[in-house]
Structure 1
Amino acid sequence: MGMPPLFASLKTGWSRASDSNSGLIAAGIAYYGFLALVPMLAAAFLTYGLVVEPATIAEHGSSLTRTLPGAAGELVAGQLENIAARNTGDSRFGLLIAIALALFGARVAAGALITAIDMAFTVQDERGFIASNLLALVITSGAVLALGLMAGITTLVATVLAGSIGAFASYVLIGLAGFGGAFLAYRVVPQRKIVGRGAAMRGSGLFALGWLTASAAFGFYASNFGNYNATYGSLGAVIVFLTWLWLSAFLLLLGAHVAAASTQRP
């Protein structure tokens, strides 16, 4: 008997990811993602600040950092506090200008992600300069809106369901958001519509499950065994966050390769 289709796709996807140096490509995505961190957070929470008091931005944002390893979560939380403190007196017009500039600055990470996903599906991107940048801005804007919505939803869930149940529910919601984001990326990014829904669901399911598991495992390791501060000093939190970004990017590319392998199976 042959291997079940799902496991065959996983095996082929892993082989494709290894052969195409996905680990190295993921490192580039992590670098650009780190550069886009501040403008992305600024855009997300400035947008959120249009409907919520600035004082609550950092509080709600802390709900989203639960999936991050400890030091990385502290780094992101600190950036959120700085953003909230910096924009308490801005006018609505000023906030809109700041959001536009932040989106423009964060689009470079989306551009790197588009290139990597096209490579995973062995698709040549023939979009022009304007179309490529528009797609990157659409992806960035979608991520910004998703961050803002998830901040509010996870805070509400954690408030209604207190304790470990609320934390678990928030964790599941973040995983579902990751699944939805990966599914859309696998379906929309390749210029040729070559990915069916079933194949995209396999890849995005693998990404979401692997992402939550890897985040929890790496967070446990970094908090209990990996003394990054002793090795890197004040850069320890940066190293932890970059490593988490690399894991996330690699799993997203692995999911793309699994989706591509599923598409090519009869």
Structure 2
Amino acid sequence: MTEQEQIQLGKIGFRAMWRFGGLTPWDLIYQSVRGYNHHRLSAHSAQFAYYAIFTLFPLLMVIIACVAQLPIKGLILSMENAINQGLPSNVSKMLFDQISDIQHKTTISLITGGVFLLSLGGTRLFLTMGTGLDAVFEVDRRRTFWKSSGLALLLTFGVLILLLLAMILLVIGPELARLLLANFYAPWLHLLLSAGTRWSVACGFMLISTSVIYWAVPSVKLPWKIITPGSLFVVISWVIMLQGFRIYVENIAHYNETYGTLGGFIVLLVWLYLTGAILMMGGEINGVIYRAAKLKADGVSKPI
């Protein structure tokens, strides 16, 4: 992709994105699935799962160390409740044991090691995503390694800050909801705040994270949009995957019988792979739309 083509991509606006670049919904689905296979995004999803596993436990260590410094009670309990509602029981138990172990054995040296491993794993995680998204946009000239690594490191700690803010909102949110409901009566507001606080925070975190990733990670100059078809696909698919995968693991699959004590780890690895696949597919959807809009602007009518 030449510099001139990148400039043209940057000029594609919000309306063109939501008109799918002139594609029909069926064409968008077909070309996105074909592009997912053509760009070998399944392999990038597997790499995402590997580096995510490497990053997850240092991330828990750093989060717990940060939470210990905040004057807000119930943050860890709120995080455990969110994990319990979103992940299968065997994975939740494994993570709870890890959280408890970290709480009882955390030292300055462990926290320092956790920050180092989080930096290393998070950088590799975002570099992997960058490789996949550059394949989606068919980039000829990628960023230099040091520039890509620096950006990946910033994104790693940016996600950490977003996670901490989400945890704080999970604790403060219900209190704010009760305050609002005590002073304003509206059935729709009551339903949203009483039943949807936790999911609203989770979806907001995913929406903001994916919009930043799809804007900053590829080696192309793209305009930042908080909601794109790709990021909306990620949020909806991720919520469906969370609930569907949990039901499947707890009622149909028998990972513990097959893998024994490794069952929880295998389930977590599969869950992370599916998360990576959803993120890659969201990027592919945006890439298909950008390319279709560019071809339409150039007066080319043939499919991509």
Q: TM-score range by the shorter chain?
A: 0.7 to 0.9
- Residues 206/21 of structure 1: CA separation in 2 closer, same or farther (3 Å cut): same
Q: Could you tell me which amino acid in structure 2 is paired with residue 45 of structure 1?
A: I
Q: Deviations over 1:104-160 (max 9, x none)?
A: 233222222222222222224632332122111111101111111112212333566
Q: Distance in 1 between matches of 2:30 and 2:276?
A: 19
- Quick check: 1:58–1:77 contact (8 Å CA) kept in 2? no
Does the C-alpha gap of structure 1 residues 25 and 98 become closer, same or farther in structure 2, counting only changes over 3 Å? Answer: closer
Q: Which has the larger radius of gyration?
A: 2
| 120 and 166 in structure 1: CA distance in 2 versus 1, 3 angstrom threshold | farther
1:251 aligns with 2:267: no
Is residue 211 of structure 2 the alignment partner of residue 204 of structure 1? no
1:42-86 CA-partner distances (Å, limit 9, x unpaired): 223322332147x84531321331222222222222222222222
Q: Distance in 2 between matches of 1:264 and 1:184?
A: 20
Q: CA deviation at 1:215?
A: 1.2
Q: 2:154 is matched with which residue?
A: 138
Tell me the distance in 2 between the aligned counterparts of 1:99 and 1:235. Answer: 23
2:76 is aligned, of 58, 65, 77, to 58
In structure 2, the residue matched to 1:106 is: 121
Would the alpha carbon gap of residues 4 and 56 (structure 1) be closer, same or farther in structure 2, given more than 3 Å must change? same
Aligned residues of 1:63 and 1:154 also touching (Cα < 8 A): no
Mark the CA change 1:154 to 1:196 in structure 2 (over 3 Å): closer, same or farther. closer
Matching residue of 2:54: 35
1:17-96 pair list within 5 angstroms: 17-52=36-71, 56-65=74-83, 66-87=85-106
The count of residues paired between Structure 1 and Structure 2 equals 257
Change (3 A) 1:128 1:52: farther
Residue aligning to 2:205: 177
Q: Kindly indicate whether the alpha-carbon contact (under 8 Å) linking 1:43 and 1:98 is maintained by their aligned counterparts in 2.
A: no
Structure 1 residues 225 and 194: CA distance shift in structure 2, 3 A:
same
- Stretches of structure 1 lacking an aligned partner (at least 5 in a row): none
**Contact between 1:13 and 1:254, CA under 8 Å: does it hold in 2?**
yes
Instruction: Give the C-alpha shift of residue 95 in structure 1.
Output: 8.5
| 3-state secondary structure, aligned to 1:147 | helix
Question: Is 2:166 the counterpart of 1:150?
Answer: yes
The amino acid across from 1:58 in the alignment is: I
Amino acid at match of 2:157: S
The Cα of 1:103 is off from its aligned counterpart by: 3.1
Describe the superposition over 1:8-43 as per-residue Cα deviations: whole angstroms up to 9, x where unpaired: 323321220122222222111101111111112222
Relative to structure 1, is the Cα distance of residues 111 and 52 closer, same or farther in structure 2, using a 3 angstrom cutoff? farther
Q: Structure 2: where are the runs of 5+ without partners?
A: 1-21, 179-190, 294-304
SS at match of 1:193: coil
Distance 1:141 1:188, change over 3 A: same
TM-score by length of 2: 0.75
Are the structure 2 counterparts of residues 219 and 253 from structure 1 closer, same or farther at C-alpha, using a change threshold of 3 Å? same
CA distance in 2, matches of 1:20, 1:155: 41
Q: Which amino acid aligns with 1:137?
A: L
Q: Give per-residue Cα distances to partners, 1:219-259, cap 9 Å, x unaligned.
A: 01101111111111001101111111011000000000000
Q: 1:46 to 1:118 in 2, by over 3 A?
A: farther
